[in-house]
Chains A and B, each alone.
Chain A
Amino acid sequence: MVERVKPDPPGYFEGESMTRRHVFTVASQAIGGIAAAGIVLPAVGFAVAPIFHRGKERWEAVGPVSDFVEDTYRQVVFTETEGIGDAGKTTAYVRKSSEELGEEPGKMVAVSNRCAHLGCPVRFVEAAGNFICPCHGGVYDFQGKRIGGPPVRPLDQFQTRVNKGQVEVGPRYSVTSQMEPVRARDPGEFTGGIWEYLYPPRPSTFPAP
């Protein structure tokens, strides 16, 4: 077989490290990649931006201090998410803090009715003194600590303050099993200890009080 010597391509010179064809291939692919990234990156950023966005802190008056007592809850409804009508409202059970339970006196306690299992609405059952979830049978004691069923942590709470004699409820926060406040977690997520790393706090929530 006769070995044919390939003629040098036009423009070839000794010591050439890259052929003309290779340069153009790389350049056109790079330009195409930049153009594609210019379209895709803003679109993806647009879709994931809400993860990093924290809304305005919102406080709402729910009634005068005299409406609330220490030994039972009063149900209040207030807006948590604005702009979607009734769907944005949420329910909290509010009482005065109780020294008998080892709480700091003179404060208001607002317990969220969102079950810590998967987010169904729990109800405070006065006769039992417990919170009971209708979906999967989660049970919480008077303070909101889990005493039965599938929930993974106590009920969430809302920050409270008293302003001109009116009780105001503010941002949501979660608590550990020792009732230490942490940043708000979604239902179904454990709190405290190593779980603080496995279910990291989200930038869209407010710092714990």
Chain B
Amino acid sequence: MPSFPKPKIPDAVVPPPLRKPAKPGSAGTPKGQAPSDLKEPPEKKTAGDKLLEVGKEAPIDALGWVDQRLAASGFLTGMLFRKVPKGTNWFYTLGSATLFAFIVQAVTGVFLAMFYTPSATQAYASIAHINNEVPLGQLVHGMHKWGSSVMVILIFLHMGRTFFFGAYKYPRELNWVIGVVLLILTMTMAFTGYLLPFDQRSFWASIVGININGTGPVVGPYLSDFLRAGPELGATTLSRFYAIHMLLVPGAIIALIGAHMYLVVKLGTTAPPWVKAERPKIAAPTSQLEAGANGNGRANGDRVNGSDGA
């Protein structure tokens, strides 16, 4: 079994020990002796050397200053240098890839919002303006449009990986549940974003989507009215979808991604199912095993009874 070397933690993130400054004269040095650095003749330093030294130390000092108040380095080193199970492979990057797709959506979405007008009469023209006249507008719009499909595909692949590797089992059930909510929110984003260009495709796709919601018995008709903000798709439908797409769901997604990643770090990841668990080095006492074998064959379950009998 090859043992991997311990990763070296960069000095910059290790906080200096917190201690009181030495009292002048007494503390820190043995009595009667001058501090060691005073013994040696001070080196002659030019102003440039001093500046270089200060410049070198400045980022570390600044980091240390922040960390003394934030006390985050312990958590950060624990998170960044945490151990991952044997057999971890490229499939484990699908979650990060989904996160990256979300960040792309968030960034491009913010810049699209600078030019987009959520009004039924102006939305289409504002999208045409973004595509045809704004420099790089077509690129940013295209990234947002195609990126949404990428995010949906990645989140499904990530869910498939979690399912087929059995990574949803105890103690990670809650993270599975959070992931399912994130999946639903992602689909909500895709659905509400589809209407925003307000072209023929958006219009009819949203009508069909809302009507599918309406086919749910009893609550369906009211859900349709809620989504449309009225009996027909209208001006308020667009602003409603815009608010859901821009304000409501992204906040929920960011919060839940935080919870999702906290649990990933807290609980650790699973090994792929084809990696067998190593047997513990310390064997159980033989007397217990024999006693179990003498019983009804359930070596583990009857350990107490078996030892009583022996």
In the complex, which residues of chain B have a beta carbon less than 8 angstroms from the beta carbon of A199? 217-218, 220-221
Please tell me if the beta carbons of B233 and A81 are within 8 angstroms of each other in the complex. yes
Near B by CB (< 8 A), chain A positions 50-95 give 50-51, 53-55, 80-81, 83-85, 87-88
Near B by CB (< 8 A), chain A positions 40-57 give 47-48, 50-51, 53-55
Summed over the interface, the residue pairs from A and B with CB atoms below 8 Å come to a total of: 87
Question: Is residue B229 within 8 Å, beta carbon to beta carbon, of the partner chain?
Answer: yes
- Closest CB-CB distance, B221 to chain A, in whole Å? 5
Which residue of the partner chain A has the closest CB to B229? A50
Residues 176-205 of chain A, each 1 if its beta carbon lies under 8 Å from chain B, else 0? 000000001111110000000011111011
In the complex, which residues of chain B have a beta carbon less than 8 angstroms from the beta carbon of A202? 221-222, 225, 231
In the complex, which residues of chain A have a beta carbon less than 8 angstroms from the beta carbon of B236? 50
In the complex, which residues of chain B have a beta carbon less than 8 angstroms from the beta carbon of A200? 218, 221
Q: How far, in angstroms, from A121 to B203 measured CA to CA in the complex?
A: 12
In the complex, which residues of chain B have a beta carbon less than 8 angstroms from the beta carbon of A208? none
Which residue of the partner chain A has the closest CB to B219? A200
Please tell me if the beta carbons of A50 and B225 are within 8 angstroms of each other in the complex. yes
Given A48-B226, A83-B120, A85-B121: A198 and B231 within 8 A (CB)?
A: no
Question: Is residue B214 within 8 Å, beta carbon to beta carbon, of the partner chain?
Answer: yes
- Closest CB-CB distance, B218 to chain A, in whole Å? 6
- Closest CB-CB distance, B202 to chain A, in whole Å? 10
Given A50-B226, A84-B120: A189 and B215 within 8 A (CB)?
A: yes
Given A84-B235, A87-B120: A118 and B212 within 8 A (CB)?
A: yes
Most chain B Cβ neighbours within 10 Å, of A186, A188, A189: A186
Question: Is residue A119 within 8 Å, beta carbon to beta carbon, of the partner chain?
Answer: yes
Q: How far, in angstroms, from A65 to B12 measured CA to CA in the complex?
A: 87
In the complex, which residues of chain B have a beta carbon less than 8 angstroms from the beta carbon of A198? 217-218
Please tell me if the beta carbons of B208 and A118 are within 8 angstroms of each other in the complex. yes
In the complex, which residues of chain A have a beta carbon less than 8 angstroms from the beta carbon of B235? 81, 83-84
Q: How far, in angstroms, from A200 to B224 measured CA to CA in the complex?
A: 12
Question: Is residue B81 within 8 Å, beta carbon to beta carbon, of the partner chain?
Answer: no
Partner of A187, one of B121, B214, B226: B214
Q: How far, in angstroms, from A189 to B215 measured CA to CA in the complex?
A: 6
Please tell me if the beta carbons of A185 and B221 are within 8 angstroms of each other in the complex. yes
Number of chain B residues whose Cβ lies closer than 8 Å to a Cβ of chain A: 30
Please tell me if the beta carbons of B121 and A205 are within 8 angstroms of each other in the complex. no
Number of chain A residues whose Cβ lies closer than 8 Å to a Cβ of chain B: 32
Partner of A188, one of B211, B218, B231: B211
In the complex, which residues of chain B have a beta carbon less than 8 angstroms from the beta carbon of A187? 211, 214
Q: How far, in angstroms, from A30 to B147 measured CA to CA in the complex?
A: 46
Please tell me if the beta carbons of B198 and A87 are within 8 angstroms of each other in the complex. yes
Residues 56-99 of chain B, each 1 if its beta carbon lies under 8 Å from chain A, else 0? 00000000000000000000000000000000000000000000
Q: How far, in angstroms, from A80 to B236 measured CA to CA in the complex?
A: 15
Residues 213-251 of chain B, each 1 if its beta carbon lies under 8 Å from chain A, else 0? 011011011101110111111111010000000000000
Please tell me if the beta carbons of B225 and A204 are within 8 angstroms of each other in the complex. yes
Which residue of the partner chain B has the closest CB to A188? B215
Please tell me if the beta carbons of B234 and A81 are within 8 angstroms of each other in the complex. yes
Residues 264-298 of chain B, each 1 if its beta carbon lies under 8 Å from chain A, else 0? 00000000000000000000000000000000000
In the complex, which residues of chain A have a beta carbon less than 8 angstroms from the beta carbon of B185? none
Please tell me if the beta carbons of A119 and B208 are within 8 angstroms of each other in the complex. yes
27 inter-chain pairs at a CB distance below 8 angstroms, sorted by A residue, are A47-B226, A81-B232, A81-B234, A81-B235, A84-B121, A84-B234, A87-B233, A87-B234, A88-B120, A88-B232, A118-B208, A118-B212, A119-B207, A120-B207, A120-B208, A121-B204, A135-B208, A184-B231, A186-B220, A188-B211, A188-B212, A188-B215, A198-B218, A199-B221, A200-B221, A202-B221, A204-B231
A binding-site residues for B, Cβ under 8 Å: 47-48, 50-51, 53-55, 80-81, 83-85, 87-88, 118-121, 135, 184-189, 198-202, 204-205
